[in-house]
Structure 1
Amino acid sequence: MKKTALRRSKIIEALEIQGQVNVSELSKEFNVSEVTIRNDLSNLERNKLLVRAHGGAFKTNSLAIPVTEKKKINLDAKKAIGKAAAKMIQENDSIILDSGTTTFEISNNLGKFERLSVISNALDIINNLANYDNLEVMVPGGFLKEFSMSLVGPMAERNFRQLHCNKLFLGVDGFKTDVGVYTYHMEEAYLNQLMIEISEEVIVVADSSKFKKSGFAFIAGLHKIHKVITDKGIEQEYVKILERNNVEVIIAD
C-alpha cells in the first residue's frame, strides 16, 4: 500500500509540473505494468485529482474547464486572431469553423458577408451565427461533448464526408515541434482529420500559448497545414519551424 500511495503521489507531482502524463512512460518510470498505472489513474480520477484521456491523463484544471471559462483566457489575442481570420474569407466561400474559443471569435466577425456558407460542429458557434441573416449555416449533428460544446461521433463523421469546402479554420490544443497539431480528445481529432480531407485550405487559429502545450490525440502533420494565425507572443523559434515546414505564419495585431 505504501508503494501504491507513493507512486500515486509522484504521478500527481508530475501532473503539477508537466500538465499531463503518459501511461507507457509512467509504466517504465515506476517499473510496473500499464494495467497498474491505469488503475492508479482511475483511482485519482475518482478523487477528482486528474482527468483521464486516451493513453494517459491531464491535470484537472488544464482540461476540464468549461468552454465559457476558456473563452476568457487570452481573450484579446483570440479577438485579434478572429478578426485576422475573417479578413481571409471571401464572398461565396464555404468554410468550416471547428469547435473552440478562438474559432468562436471568428464567428463574431461574419456579419459583413452577403453570402457565405458556414459549417460548424460547435453549438456555441452555431448559436452565434444565428444572429446573421445572410449566412447559410450547416450543422453536422452528432453526440454533444459538453465541455467543448462540440458535436462528434459517427453521425458528424458521416455528414462531413459528404461535404467539400474552401477553407477550414481549425482550433487546436497544442503543437509538437516539427510534428504537427494535437487535441485532448480522440473523437475530436478524428473529426478534425475529416475536416482537413474535405478542405481546400487548412488554416490553424491558435494563440501563442498553444505552442507550449500538447495533447494526446494527434490531428495532423504540419504538411497538412497551409497557414497559422496567431498573436505576437509567439516565439521566433516556432515561426521558423512552421516556415521551414512551408506553413505561412500570420501575426494578428
Structure 2
Amino acid sequence: MAEERRSQILQIVRSEGRVRVNDLVNKFNTSAVTIRNDLNELHQRGVVLRSHGGAVLPDRILRESPVTERLKAHAEEKRRIGAMAATLINDGETIILDSGTTTLEIARQLKNKQALQVITNGVNIAAELLDARGVTTFIVGGTVRGESASIIGRSTEDMLEQFSADKLFLSGAGCDPDFGVSGANLEETTVNRAMLRIAREIILVADASKFTMRSMSRIAAFSEIDTVVSDTGLRDEIQAKVRSLGCTLILA
C-alpha cells in the first residue's frame, strides 16, 4: 500500500509540479506523519525535492538564475548571514570567498579588517573590495561567466593550487543535507572543489531556502563542512540533520 501511495504521489507531483502535505492527507485519508515519510522516501530517491509543507519537482529549481535576480532574492537574510560570517574572520588571515551573492555580503563587511588576504573567483567580490585598504585581494584568472559573475576554467583551478588559505566561505545553488552542497554549472563546481583542497576550514554560507534544493553537480558532502552559517528561517528538522552530520550551525 505504501508503494502504491508513493507512486500516486509522484504522479501528482509530475502532473502539478508540487504537492502539499495537507492536501495529500485529505486525498489518502492518512496521517501527516505517514505523508511526510512518503515524501522523505521519494526525496531520498531523488524523484522529488522536499519543500516547506510538501514537495516539488527537482527540475523546477535546478535551473540557475542570473546573478542580478539572485541579488534580490532573500536579500535581508543574506545580509544577516554575511555580517555573521564576517565575525568569523580575523585580521591577518587568508580567506577564500567563493563567487556568489551571499559571499558578496561578506565582502561588504570586510572594509575595516587589517592585513587580510582574500582569494576569490568572483568579479563582483573583487570590485567590492577595491576600496578596502586593509585587504589584499587576489582574483584568479580564467573565463568569466556572466550568469554568475564568476571566473572558471582549468587555469583558474591551476592558480588556486598555488595558494593556501585559512578559511573558505562557500556558497551553493543547493544545500540538501543528504546530497551535499551542489551547483548548477559543472565547471564552476570543479573550481569550488579546488578551493576545498587548499582551505583548512570550510564554512558554508546559505539562506534557509537553499536547504530544500538539490542542484546538478555536487561540490561537497556535509561531512566535509566545518561550519554552516544560515538564517533563523531554517527548519528545526534541517537544523538537527545538519548538526548530526558534524557541522557547527550558526543562525543569523
TM-score strictly above 0.5: yes
Summarize the alignment of residues 157-236 of structure 1 with structure 2, pairs less than 5 Å apart: 157-236=157-236
Corresponding residue for residue 240 of structure 1? 240
Give the deviation of 1:112 after TM superposition. Answer: 1.2
Q: Secondary structure at the match of 1:197?
A: helix
The size of the alignment, in residue pairs, is: 203
Counterpart position of 1:84: 84
1:63 match: secondary structure: coil
Work out the CA distance in 2 between the residues paired with 1:132 and 1:177. Answer: 35
Structure 2 CA distance for partners of 1:116 and 1:244, relative to 1, 3 Å: same
What is the SS of the residue equivalent to 1:151? strand
1:166 counterpart SS class: strand
Alignment correspondent of 2:103: 103
**TM-score normalised by the chain length of structure 1:** 0.76
Aligned-pair distance for 1:65?
Answer: 2.8
In 2, the alpha carbon distance for the partners of 1:203 and 1:172 equals 12
Check 1:126–1:213 CA distance in 2 against 1; reply closer, same or farther (3 A cut): same
CA distance in 2, matches of 1:15, 1:82: 38
Equivalent residues of 2:62, 2:215 under 8 A apart: no
* 2-structure distance, mates of 1:97, 1:211: 20
Name the CA shift for 1:87/1:200 in 2 (closer, same or farther; >3 Å): same
Q: Write the mapping of 1:92-171 to structure 2, written as runs, cut at 5 A.
A: 92-171=92-171
- Are the structure 2 counterparts of residues 15 and 201 from structure 1 closer, same or farther at C-alpha, using a change threshold of 3 Å? farther
User: Among the aligned pairs, what percent are the same residue?
Assistant: 33
Distance 1:131 1:15, change over 3 A: farther
Q: Residue 15 of structure 1: CA displacement?
A: 9.7
Runs (5+) with no aligned partner, structure 1: 1-12, 19-24, 27-56
User: TM-score, normalised on structure 2?
Assistant: 0.76
CA gap 1:138/1:16 in 2 versus in 1, 3 angstroms: farther
Cα–Cα, structure 1 residues 217 and 114, in superposed 2: closer, same or farther, change >3 Å? same
SS in 1 for 2:140: coil
Contact 2:174–2:212 under 8 Å retained in 1:
yes
Q: Residue 139 of structure 1: CA displacement?
A: 0.9
C-alpha distance in structure 2 between counterparts of 1:175 and 1:92, whole Å = 30
Aligned match of 1:251: 251
| Residues 158 and 76 (structure 1), Cα distance of their counterparts in 2 relative to 1, 3 Å cut | same
Q: Which amino acid aligns with 2:76?
A: D
Q: 1:184, 1:16 → 2: CA distance?
A: 24
Alignment partners' CA distance in 2, 1:165 and 1:14:
44
Q: Distance in 2 between matches of 1:165 and 1:16?
A: 46
Equivalent pair of 1:202/1:225 in contact (CA under 8 Å): yes
The alpha carbon displacement at 1:232 in A equals 0.3
Please state how far the C-alpha of 1:131 moved relative to its aligned partner. Answer: 1.9
Structure 1 residues 140 and 244, CA gap change in structure 2 (3 angstroms)? same
Answer yes or no: is the 8 Å Cα contact 1:178–1:245 preserved in 2.
no
Q: Tell me how far apart the structure 2 counterparts of residues 241 and 58 of structure 1 sit (CA, whole Å).
A: 24
Counterpart contact for 1:15–1:58, Cα < 8 Å: no
Tell me the CA shift for residue 100 of structure 1.
Answer: 0.6
Instruction: Please report the RMSD computed on the Cα atoms of aligned residues, expressed in angstroms.
Output: 2.0
Conserved in 1, the CA contact under 8 Å of 2:94 and 2:117?
yes
1:48 aligns with: none
Return structure 1 stretches of 4+ with deviation > 6 angstroms: none
- 1:76 deviates by 0.4
